[in-house]
Amino acid sequence: MYNNIKILYHQGKQFIPDVTTAKVPGIFRGRPIIGTAKVDETELMEMCPVNAISVNPVSIDLGKCTFCGECAMRFPEKITFTTDYKISTNDRESLVIKEGDDKPVSVNSDKVRPEIQKLFGRSMKLRQVSAGGDNSCEWELGAANNVQFDMGRFGIEFVASPRHADGIAITGPITENMAEALQICYDATPDPKIIVLVGTDAISGGIFAGSPALNRTFLENHTVDLYIPGNPAHPLTIINGLLDLTRKRK
């Protein structure tokens, strides 16, 4: 007992006091900014491993981007990645960052169903489904609930059964072999319910887009309530995205 108290004392306070303003250490690659400098646009477009870059105007689709940063290393005068981790949105189009854009990515509150903020504004339980996820987004969802990020303080938690959940959080590109289980899990979740896509693989298929082993028809038949980009998504991106969706703005 004495030893346990000693450890508690040594650990001190670990939680991040304000997860909406916390700074991330190092060279984290968050929301990119595309400058107006002229570069070889064909080379820029073709160097991207996941075809996230388009031209006329030059834009980066954060739903496809793996945040490897190679475009910014090759063309530093054109592309820079900021440390802004608030890149979650309910509007798929908002994930496309265009030349000259330097405004935050956020949830479009006009498109949020009214019952979401009313019912889930102070408590929301999610059932996580990994459908071909590579265990990186799964790790970060777990980290969002550790003692530092402590998403539980907002009443947002992951539960063991879809019966206890207010929605599902999908990771991975959705494989053919998981398609049925995903549908069963969604059907077992009581209404009203939300769908959250976590990570590049879930949003667009990522590097696996177009693989014949995938079956993404689930997404054609349902409306997605929140896109959380990243490879994997950072815990602060996850928490701020979920808060942005469910909380009324001050």
Partner 1 sequence: MHYLTIKNNQSVSLSEIPEVSYSTFLVLNTGMVAENLGRHCVNYFGYPDGDQIKLICCIADDTDHLIYISSCRVDVNTEYASFTAKNLCFEKFEREIHENFGVMYSDHPWLKPVRYAHDRVDMNEIIANYPFYSIDSEELHEVGVGPIHAGIIEPGHFRFICNGEQILHLEIQLGYQHRGIEKLFLETKKLNQLATLAENIAGDTAVGHSVAFAHVWESLCGFESTRDLDFARTVALELERIAIHTGDLSAGCTDIAYQLGSSVFGRLRTPIINFMQEWGGNRLSKGLIRPGQNKFPFTQALADRLKQVLDAFEPDFDEMNEVLFNMPSALSRFERTGVVSIEDAAAIGAVGMAARASGSARDIRLTHPHSLYAELNHEPFIKHHGDVYSRFQIRRKEVTQSIKYLRTLIADVPAVAEIKPAKATSAPGANLFTLSLVEGWRGEICHCAITNADGELKHYKIKDPSFHNWLALALSVRNNEISDFPICNKSFNLSYCGNDL
Size of the site for partner 1 (CB under 8 A): 67
30 versus 106: smaller Cβ distance to partner 1:
30
State yes or no: residue 37 binds partner 1 (CB under 8 A): no
Single residue of 39, 45, 119, 207 touching partner 1 by CB under 8 A: 207
CA atoms within 13 A on the CB side of 140: 21
Q: The dihedral of CA 44, 48, 50, 52: what is its sign?
A: negative
The distance of closest approach from Cβ of residue 66 to partner 1 in the complex, given in angstroms and rounded to an integer, is: 6
Pairing relationship of beta strands 79-81 and 32-34 according to DSSP bridges = antiparallel
Q: Hey, what are 77's tokens?
A: 């005068």
Region from 42-50, 54-62, 86-94, 220-228 binding partner 1, contact rule CB under 8 A? 42-50
DSSP strand pairing (79-81 vs 53-54): unpaired
Q: From the CB of 136, what's the least distance to partner 1, in Å?
A: 3
**Cβ atoms 81, 72 nearer than 8 A:** yes
Determine, following the binding rule CB under 8 A, whether residue 176 of this chain makes contact with partner 1.
yes
**Angle 140-219-184 (CA atoms, 0-180°, nearest 5)?**
80
- Residue 158 and residue 128 in contact, taking contact as beta carbons nearer than 8 Å: yes
Q: Residue 234 corresponds to which tokens in the numbers above? A: 């950072």
Q: Is 167 in the site for partner 1 (CB under 8 A)?
A: no
226 binds partner 1 (CB under 8 A): no
Contacts with partner 1 by CB under 8 A lie at 3-4, 6-8, 10-11, 14, 24-29, 47, 49-50, 66-70, 73, 81, 127-143, 146-148, 158, 160-161, 172-173, 175-178, 180-181, 185, 201, 206-208, 211-214, 231-232, 234
